[in-house]
Structure 1
Amino acid sequence: MTSRRIISDEKTILDKDDHLSPGSGASQDSSDTAPAVPTDVIMKLLAFTFAMVIVPIGSYFLTVNTIFKGNSTYAGGLAALMANVVLIGYVVVAINEDQTEQLDAKKKAQGKKD
């Protein structure tokens, strides 16, 4: 078997990308360290992820012996229904958040005109 040996003095593509050319207009001093996604969005996603795991499983085990008297089919159906409720809740929260961002942008645009 033969393998290709990498010669250490060759520049790889990654090495070439590390150095900016002087005419590129980019400066290494200015860097944007702001997160790509706001923290409140990440927290909402984590909360709904947690709810998506806990609510259906919890509703199944809470109702299988208490409400449905051992009928796991009905308890499983309720768990599926609760998973859909959590999912619909996430969609509603996401739509409302998007609408508030659009309203804020309109208010800023109107404030600049006045």
Structure 2
Amino acid sequence: MASRRIISQEKTLLEKDDSIGSSPAANEKSNIAPAVPAAVIFKLLAFTFAMIVVPIGSYFLTVDNVFKGNSTFAGALAAIMANVVLVAYIIAAMREDQPDQEEKQQQKGSSRGEDKKSR
């Protein structure tokens, strides 16, 4: 036969207090920092805006002024400008990631140096 549990004496998940006892969350404060820095979000928004404005703007600026009504050449230029914005975003993202990679390499190098010194 199955044993019966007395439910009225047990605490529910919401009633349990993490600040008492040896739980991992007892002495830690919550980390409420955003997962992505604000500069990254602003850079993404700027490139999104550029991805919309630059190709459309280049089309309408050049269709009559430069290419004298030839929409094929103006459309090709708009496509090229969209690719230029995309490549610029990729380069900016790679440059942003380089300091992080260099820092990781320096940390690995310094930990290896300490290992050699301790021998």
TM, length-normalised to structure 2: 0.69
Runs of at least 5 residues in structure 2 that lack an aligned partner in the other structure: 1-11, 115-119
Alpha-carbon deviation of 1:101? Answer: 1.3
Q: Report which structure shows greater RCO (CA 8 Å, sep ≥6).
A: 1
Query: Residues 17 and 98 (structure 1 numbering): CA distance in 2 closer, same or farther, change over 3 Å?
Result: farther
Cα separation, 2, equivalents of 1:73 and 1:17: 65
Aligned 1:16-27 pairs, distance under 5 A: 22=18, 24-27=23-26
How many residues are paired up?
99
Instruction: Tell me the percent identity.
Output: 53
TM, length-normalised to structure 1: 0.71
Q: Which one has a bigger Cα radius of gyration?
A: 2
Aligned 1:33-72 pairs, distance under 5 A: 33-72=32-71
Runs of at least 5 residues in structure 1 that lack an aligned partner in the other structure: 1-15
Backbone CA RMSD of aligned residues: 2.5
Cα separation, 1, equivalents of 2:78 and 2:34: 36
Cα separation, 1, equivalents of 2:55 and 2:78: 4
Q: Deviations over 1:11-34 (max 9, x none)?
A: xxxxx7656565652249611011
